Amino acid sequence: MKRLAVVILAAGKGTRMKSDLPKVMHEIAGKPMLRHVIDTCARLSADHVVVVAGPRMPTVEAAAAPHAVAHQMEQRGTGHAVGCARPAFGDKPFDEVLIVYGDTPLITAETLGRMVEERRQSDAAVVVLGMRVAPPNAYGRLVLDAAGNLDAIVEAAEASPDILELELCNSGVMVIDGSVLFDMVARIRNDNSKGEFYLTDIVGLARGDGRLARVVEAPARELVGVNSRADLAAAEAILQQRLRAAAMAGGATLVDPASVFLAADTVLGRDVVIGPNVVFGAGVTVGDRVQIKAFSHIEGARIGAGAIIGPFARLRPGSVLAEDVHIGNFVELKNAEIGRGAKANHLTYLGDVTVGAGSNIGAGTITVNYDGFGKYRTEIGERAFIGSNSSLVAPVRIGDGAMTAAGSVVTSDVAADAIAIGRARQVNKPGRAAEFRAAQRAKHKK
């Protein structure tokens, strides 16, 4: 069995991001770029993964878990960064080592798999991932020989005008023979205009040793590197196109795909219909035949089959909806368990609550779950009817089949099949409205 290791370079500070957050921790589709790369590499069933972080990057180290972390204390080039990973390998032998970058979140497992396969089939010392970019600008150029093998990688800063005319560019991603990787890295010199140790020099070293170097090409859109906020937005747009296409291919209808934003882990069932301007945060699972209407925002929630959500609904983390639930316009849920067939159709906040099957929550209902110090839970039984404009002051329990009168403030438990009336008694004063108007007119004439 061949053994594969992965080194993910993630030590860059990302100064152009103008952020206190390490560059690779910026998110696209609700997930840090580094996690996108780690999760992609996981599909290759790598035997060992090392993330190379910079100094004082605890968020990067946390995101890398449970994988090994090495540190590049000074940024002295990509070759130096790979060399910093050496102690994390110990004495384990690997047939191939894949070098990828934590700020290229769009690269696919299929492309990386093709590189690994090319290395194994050709027995090349190095396989480099190439792309064609217009204009190529500052990318290094890949120089091929007459047989189509890779002869050299020339950094743009070191390239002659003839070399700069070449269209095939270096993405930086490589697969290297594990038996020679660190030996060749140790031989890289920094006698260049930047005084850095370029990993790209490894191609020349391999060729000098009489070894083969090969190129695998991939679309440039897959190899977008993120160095600025504008790059981040461009990567987000590309990934959203992928996610929307996958959702529709999987049996979901997106009425206006360009206005729907999905998270990387959004799971949609069959025959789901999503209206315009719907946003999914991380951790959402949607069952079959669910309708999600326009301008709804959903994160950290599970929605059962046949439910109807929105428009203008907000489902916050911890919300679990059973089958055939209706959550309507301007309803907000947080840490709410809603039973089968229950309805909350208008202008309601349900936080830290359990709602039983078949219950109806009237417009303007609020679960009063926070007293400034702690959160408390409301329990509503099955087939309960909560009248409009009710305030349920937690902790409180409404029994099965119970009702609350409209406008009630409920502060104690309500037994099954009881009606709770928690409001002041109405008093009518005949003729007083006319007397009031007359008094006001006389007052304002003075």
297/259 Cα distance (integer angstroms): 12
Q: How many CB atoms lie within 10 A of CB 440?
A: 10
Q: Are 405 and 380 within 8 A, CB to CB?
A: no
247-420 placed in CATH 2.160.10.10: yes
H/E element, 52: strand 48-53
65/48 Cα distance (integer angstroms): 12
* Strands annotated E in 155-202: 168-177
437/218 Cα distance (integer angstroms): 80
Q: Which active-site residues does the annotation give?
A: 346
304/323 Cα distance (integer angstroms): 4
306/322 Cα distance (integer angstroms): 9
CA atoms within 13 A on the CB side of 73: 0
Mean pLDDT of 316-335: 98
Contacts of 428 (CB under 8 A, 6+ apart): none
Mean pLDDT of 188-210: 92
* H helix count then E strand count, the chain: 9, 33
Residue 13: pLDDT band with limits 50, 70, 90:
confident
**The pair of three-digit structure tokens given for residue 149, joined into one six-digit string:** 């093998």
| 400-445 pLDDT tens trace | 999 999 999 999 999 999 999 999 888 999 999 999 999 999 988 8
CA atoms within 13 A on the CB side of 186: 5
Q: How many CB atoms lie within 10 A of CB 99?
A: 25
| 116-161 pLDDT tens trace | 999 999 999 999 999 998 887 889 999 999 999 999 999 888 889 9
Q: Is 45 exposed, middle or buried (0-12, 13-18, 19+ CB in 10 A)?
A: exposed
pTM over 0.75: yes
> What is the reported pLDDT for 92?
83
> What is the reported pLDDT for 446?
67
**The pair of three-digit structure tokens given for residue 253, joined into one six-digit string:** 């209808």
Residue with tokens 């005949």: 430
4-223 placed in CATH 3.90.550.10: yes
| 420-430 pLDDT tens trace | 999 988 899 99
For 425-438, letters b (16+ CB in 10 Å) and e give: eeeeeeeeeeeeee
Alpha-carbon dihedral 287, 288, 293, 297, rounded to 10 degrees: 20
- Kindly list the domain boundaries of the chain, sorted by start residue: 4-223, 247-420
Contacts of 174 (CB under 8 A, 6+ apart): 98, 99, 115, 126, 127, 128, 129, 199, 202
144/159 Cα distance (integer angstroms): 15
169/84 Cα distance (integer angstroms): 26
| 221-263 pLDDT tens trace | 999 889 999 999 999 999 999 999 999 999 999 999 999 999 9
Mean pLDDT of 259-270: 98
**For 140, phi and psi rounded to 5 degrees?**
-65, 150
Mean pLDDT of 322-351: 98
Contacts of 227 (CB under 8 A, 6+ apart): 14, 16, 17, 23, 103
Q: Are 373 and 390 within 8 A, CB to CB?
A: no
Q: Are 13 and 5 within 8 A, CB to CB?
A: no
Choose the weakest-confidence range: 45-59, 155-169, 197-211. 155-169
